[in-house]
Amino acid sequence: MVDKLIASESQVRSYSRSFPVVFSKARGAEIYAADGRRYIDFLAGAGTLNYGHNHPVLKEALLEYYAGDHIVHALDLWTQAKYTYIEALEKFILQPRQLDYRVHLTGPTGTNAVEAALRLARKIKNRANIVAFTNGFHGVTLGSLAMTGNAKFRSVAGLPMAGSTFMPFDRYLGRDVDTLAYFEKFLSDRSSGLDHPAAVIVEVVQGEGGINVASEPWLRGLQALCKRNDMLLIVDDIQAGCGRTGKFFSFEHAGVVPDIIVNSKSLSGYGLPFSQVLMRPELDVWEQGQYNGTFRGHNPAMITGAKAFEHFWGDPSFEREVGRKAQVLRDGLRSLTQALRNYDIEAEERGLGLMRGIDVRSGALAGKISAEAFRNGLMIETSGSTGQVVKCLCPLVISDEQIDEAVQILRRSIGKVLD
């Protein structure tokens, strides 16, 4: 099977190079290769499977929906599924957090929603420029790519990328440099060369950028900076949202309220393609049909998404459990940084909730640890500008035993690679 796939699939393939087996089944936090080998899944669709693979409650809702000949595709027509979804979003997510947003169901991928959010911000402010941050990742279609720092993707844009200016993320210039003061200086000096931005787009925890966590004061400062300077605050919660950081929205920790939010990845709860833009109601300046797409809101994904809101977020113990597991994982990973220090590697553990990583200071080393872990039954990816961060995105429904097993595998892998 592997030979046939290698011969037929474009060289552009990526994850299958790090994890070169054929997968066949998965349940919860475990994924199985066709030969029956079991792996604990700390990749989890790069944060798409927050509730694990094939969660039984979501699966039942989905199978029932298909079996009943309900609507699968409907452009952006009203469907019962859409009503169910919007009702659940308001009841279980927005109202308990006293948030008021309108919903734009865009094309099904994260970058589709980012593109729509950028276009909306530019339309509202009638300005082209948008500020993005160093090491940010917002997708690879041209508009989103202009906001993405990653050189690998930018180098094949094929066209000049326009409409973005990069500013340093929190702590990008070291712990002692206030990067917001730097940003504000550019805004206040009309000869700085910075065209007045319509908006800023930011990840609260940079996922692809290497688990860089924006501090709460920094985020509150960014919100205030946006208000003072008439810029919209867009939070890209595609990877850090849907409970990944321990709260439904990653910005809840800091208490900020974005003007525009973008969600995707775990939004359907089941790995189905699904994205949305949330906008403060007064920002909904779209005219009818001014933005479109054939696949706007995947109806089966609305069913599983609504069920996930109800089942997980309708129960206050879920958030507490995620918080508790985050501590278990953090303690495990911190013990590994100690182990790495014994080899004179100044490793750092960091993250928020169950979005965590160990910066081992070397992409080559992180890659070796990931490869060795995979040989021992743990699928775990690397991220960061040089791939130097071993990145844990385990499903939120993982058990303590599975976390423990994964940490043990990492410990053995670090020993094997460095001894």
Ligand X SMILES: *Cc1c(COP(=O)(O)O)cnc(C)c1O
For ligand X, the closer of residues 29 and 238 by Cβ is 238
264 binds ligand X (CB under 6 A): yes
Of the candidate spans 154-162, 236-244, 347-355, 398-406, the one that interacts with ligand X by CB under 6 A turns out to be 236-244
Q: Does 212 bind ligand X (CB under 6 A)?
A: no
Instruction: State the distance between the two ends of the chain, measured CA to CA, in whole angstroms.
Output: 34
As a whole number of angstroms, the distance between CA 221 and CA 30 comes to 40
Ramachandran angles phi, psi of 43, nearest 5°: -95, -45
Distance, in Å, from the CA atom of 11 to the CA atom of 14, rounded to the nearest integer, reads 8
If you search the block for the tokens 């060289």, which residue do you land on? 11
Q: Are 135 and 209 in contact (CB under 8 A)?
A: yes
Applying CB under 6 A, the span of 163-171, 233-241, 336-344, 349-357 interacting with ligand X comes to 233-241
Residue 241 contacts ligand X per CB under 6 A = no
> Which residue minimizes CB distance to ligand X?
110
C-beta of 243: minimal distance to ligand X in Å?
Answer: 15
Among 303, 351, 346, smallest CA distance to 327 is for 351
Q: Helices marked H in 110-149 — which ranges?
A: 110-125, 142-145
Selected from 30, 41, 170, 203, the binder of ligand X by CB under 6 A is: 203
Q: What is the dihedral of CA 121, 101, 110, 65, to 10 degrees?
A: -150
Q: Is 337 in the site for ligand X (CB under 6 A)?
A: no
# binding residues, ligand X (CB under 6 A): 15
* Closer Cβ to ligand X, 107 or 367, answer by number: 107
Q: Which of 104, 73, 77, 75 is nearest to 89 (CA)?
A: 104
Would you say the C-alpha torsion 146, 150, 154, 156 has a positive or negative sign?
negative
> What is the C-alpha R_g of the chain?
21
CB of 164 to ligand X, least distance (A): 14
Q: Which is nearer to ligand X, 380 or 414 (CB)?
A: 380
Amino acid at 287: E
Q: Of these, 109, 164, 212, 402, which contacts ligand X (CB under 6 A)?
A: 109
For ligand X, give the closer residue by CB, 382 or 413. 382
Binder to ligand X among 62, 238, 380, 397 (CB under 6 A)? 238
Report the residue number, 104 or 265, with the smaller CB distance to ligand X: 265
**319 in contact with ligand X (CB under 6 A):** no
User: Which residues are near ligand X by CB under 6 A?
Assistant: 109-111, 114, 137-139, 203, 207-208, 236, 238-239, 264-265
